[in-house]
Amino acid sequence: MDANVIISLNNVNFYYGQNRALTDITMNFRKNKVTALIGPSGCGKSTLLRLLNRMNDLIDDTRVEGDIIYEGKNIYSPDIDPVEIRKKIGMVFQKPNPFPKTIYNNIAYGPKLTASNTGDINMLVEQTLKQAVLWDEVKDILNQSAMKLSGGQQQRLCIARALAMKPDILLMDEPTSALDPISTAKIEELIEELKKDYTIIIVTHNMQQAARISDETAFFYLGNLIEYNKTEKIFTKPDVKQTEDYITGRFG
Amino acid sequence: MKHAINNQINQMKWRYFRQSAFFGLLRASALIITLALGGIIFYILYNGLSVISWEFISKPPTHSMTKGGIMPAILGTIYLTVGAISIGLPLGVASAIYLTEYAKQGKMIRFIKVGINCLAGVPSVVFGLFGLAFFVILFKFGSSILAGSLTLGFLILPTIIGASEEALKSVPQTFREASLALGVSKWQTIYRIVLPNALPGILTGSILGIGRAAGETAPIMFTAAAYFTAKLPGSIFDEVMALPYHIYVLATAGTNIEATRPIQYGTVLVLVAVVLGINLIAILIRGYMRRHKRW
Ligand SMILES: Nc1ncnc2c1ncn2[C@@H]1O[C@H](COP(=O)(O)OP(=O)(O)OP(=O)(O)O)[C@@H](O)[C@H]1O
Ligand SMILES: [Mg+2]
């Protein structure tokens, strides 16, 4: 496998009960790049994202076919512990979802419990909050409830919380869709910064956002991967007509 | 034009009338409930207050229970209630965690849930007989605090399971997802995130169970309650007197039923106070937890 590939899907199908949500997906995600997943509502973007850190395991009556290879192993093979996968592949959700704990404990929670990080927790909290560009805003209120932060601050806290686990990959499902333009810009800058150290896969409905921040873009339609290429190429001269129609808003 | 406006005003009046009629009805039912409760409490106070004294609360009965106090019964009821809670709460919460967090939802789980609901409807005397056959005779605990606590614990189990299930379900799924997505194990997620957030709700529901455990007569009649012992229990294998049973005994089988009327009302008053007191402790604990949750 190409050394630049961090995770690759081979002929992946995914079913919710009888309904197939993803059809025969084959694609490679590249290391230290930002990959955007785009497509109309219900095309399976979130399903694909949650497949990569086995969050779909939480839903009863689902089934995966095909291989998802990460670090040389199929993450769905029976000898793989999903908990270990999730430590290395972090996730940020659409709606900011901090724990009803203090800001400090939101960050410290994961590392403390998983013992993956036995170093100085105070250092780690400071470091990850700085990484998430939140430190200056919260350094004096670390013992205040995270629920009192603004939506944008909460989302950056959630990013910091994921970073504290020192993951390889960060999955983001429409991380800015609940935020105002200023918070959105902050998070976009942050993503730009983070891709030096992390691989980022982001779902977005915002075409400009995809064009701005991603290196590669994958367009999905009805559970199929229609086109996957360099972002520049997708947004200037896509190979498939459907892609062009979607990007230019002439869809449906 | 004028006609249309009039029409509109009439409609508004009619709507307003309906609304106030409905509110009136709601107010009336709230009032009836309050009056009924007030009436009961007033009646008990009126009849029972005269016998309440330090002596009544701190001394055992004397003169074939026609004089003296009810201290052994108060202690017995506290022992039994605390015992029932220490058995019912962990068992109930554990069952609820299994049912809501672990078990795959399906026919089997629905069947178990129906079973639990049925259990909630079983008359308490049946629990008493079950306790007699099972704990007193089969396990040879004899009539004792242990057997009575176990029986009461099982009696309140459905209440606690139901309350815990509701409380667990009301913890947002996003909290679970956030924790699991960090690579925290399922058990840790439940223990660190789900349970602390569900605990106030669990306690609220369990308060109902506490009241029931303290007030029931039938389940302890065969399993724990003594007709009369001046001696205090030395271990959990001893019989105890208990307030509800003491009331029952005085009112139906005492040596001089008429003469003990005031004592009966006094005992009822103490029982109500004990139940409210135990509830108050639970409410205080719940309040403390809520305040320290830092939402
Ligand atoms: N928990 C679920 N149970 C059953 N079907 C589901 C579930 N979640 C999603 N689906 C179905 O799978 C398909 C893909 O859903 P998915 O959430 O992945 O879409 P999406 O591309 O993320 O859409 P959106 O842009 O609206 O978030 C949809 O048809 C949806 O109805
Ligand atoms: Mg989605």
- CA dist B108 → B18, B111, B112, B168 (Å): 47, 5, 6, 20
Taking the C-alpha atoms of residue A97 and residue B176, their distance in angstroms, rounded to an integer, is 10
Cβ contact, residue pair B177, A100, below 8 Å: no
| Residue A68 binned pLDDT confidence (cut-offs 50, 70, 90) | very high
Q: How far is the CA of A44 from the centre of ligand 1 (A)?
A: 6
Which of A37, A17, A14, A38 lies closest to A25 in space, CA to CA?
A14
The CATH architecture to which B74-242 belongs is: Orthogonal Bundle (1.10)
Give mean pLDDT, residues B206-211. Answer: 82
pLDDT digits (tens, 9 = 90+) for A212-245: 999 999 999 999 999 999 999 999 988 988 898 8
Are the C-beta atoms of B76 and B242 separated by less than 8 Å?
A: yes
- Specify the range with the lowest mean pLDDT, choosing from A39-43, A147-151, A203-207, B280-284: B280-284
pLDDT at B254 > cutoff 70: no
- Region class of A54: left (phi > 0), else alpha (psi between -120 and 50), else beta: left
| Residue B295 binned pLDDT confidence (cut-offs 50, 70, 90) | very low
Minimal Cβ distance to B178: which of A88, A97, A114: A97
Q: Kindly give the number of the ligand 1 atom that is closest to the alpha carbon of A220.
A: 21
ipTM: 0.91
> A150: which DSSP letter?
-
Reported as half-sphere exposure (CB side, CA atoms, 13 A), residue A230 has a value of 4
How do the domains of chain B map onto residue ranges?
74-242
Are the C-beta atoms of A104 and A125 separated by less than 8 Å?
A: yes
Query: What residues are in contact with ligand 1 under a 6 Å CB criterion?
Result: A 16, 19, 21, 39, 41-47, 59
Q: How far is the CA of A87 from the centre of ligand 1 (A)?
A: 24
How do the domains of chain A map onto residue ranges?
5-247
| Residue B294 binned pLDDT confidence (cut-offs 50, 70, 90) | very low
pLDDT digits (tens, 9 = 90+) for B148-162: 999 999 999 999 999
Chain B residues within an 8 Å CB radius of A95: 174
- CA dist B248 → A20, A187, B229, B243 (Å): 66, 70, 16, 9
Which CATH homologous superfamily contains domain A5-247?
P-loop containing nucleotide triphosphate hydrolases (3.40.50.300)
- The proportion of chain A whose per-residue pLDDT surpasses 90, expressed as a percent, equals 64
The confidence score (pLDDT) of residue B66 equals 67
Are the C-beta atoms of A124 and A107 separated by less than 8 Å?
A: yes
Taking the C-alpha atoms of residue B154 and residue B219, their distance in angstroms, rounded to an integer, is 10
Q: How far is the CA of B201 from the centre of ligand 1 (A)?
A: 32
The confidence score (pLDDT) of residue B212 equals 84
Chain B residues within an 8 Å CB radius of A116: 183
- CA dist B158 → B92, B96, B198, B224 (Å): 7, 10, 17, 21
**Average model confidence (pLDDT) for chain A?**
90
| Global confidence as pTM | 0.83
> B274: which DSSP letter?
H
Strands A73-74 and A62-70: antiparallel
Q: Which helix (H) or strand (E) holds A16?
A: strand A5-16
pLDDT digits (tens, 9 = 90+) for A73-104: 999 999 999 999 999 999 999 999 999 999 99
pLDDT at A187 > cutoff 50: yes
pLDDT digits (tens, 9 = 90+) for B5-53: 888 888 888 888 989 999 999 999 999 999 998 998 899 889 888 888 8
Q: Specify the higher pLDDT residue, A30 or B290.
A: A30
- The proportion of chain B whose per-residue pLDDT surpasses 90, expressed as a percent, equals 35
Q: Specify the higher pLDDT residue, B260 or B122.
A: B122
Residue with tokens 């965690």: B97
The confidence score (pLDDT) of residue B73 equals 86
pLDDT digits (tens, 9 = 90+) for A138-172: 989 998 989 999 888 999 999 999 999 989 999 99
- Specify the range with the lowest mean pLDDT, choosing from A59-68, B64-73, B177-186: B64-73
Taking the C-alpha atoms of residue A28 and residue B130, their distance in angstroms, rounded to an integer, is 64
Taking the C-alpha atoms of residue A146 and residue B111, their distance in angstroms, rounded to an integer, is 41
Establish, for the pair of chains A and B, how many residue pairs have beta carbons separated by less than 8 Å.
73
Cβ contact, residue pair A85, B183, below 8 Å: yes
The confidence score (pLDDT) of residue B179 equals 95
Buried b / exposed e over B129-167, threshold 16 CB at 10 Å, is bbbbebbbeeeebebbbbbbbbbbbbbbbbbbbbbbbbb
Helix residue ranges per DSSP H, chain B: 2-48, 54-58, 71-97, 107-121, 124-131, 145-169, 173-181, 186-189, 195-215, 218-221, 243-252, 261-291
SS3 B243: helix
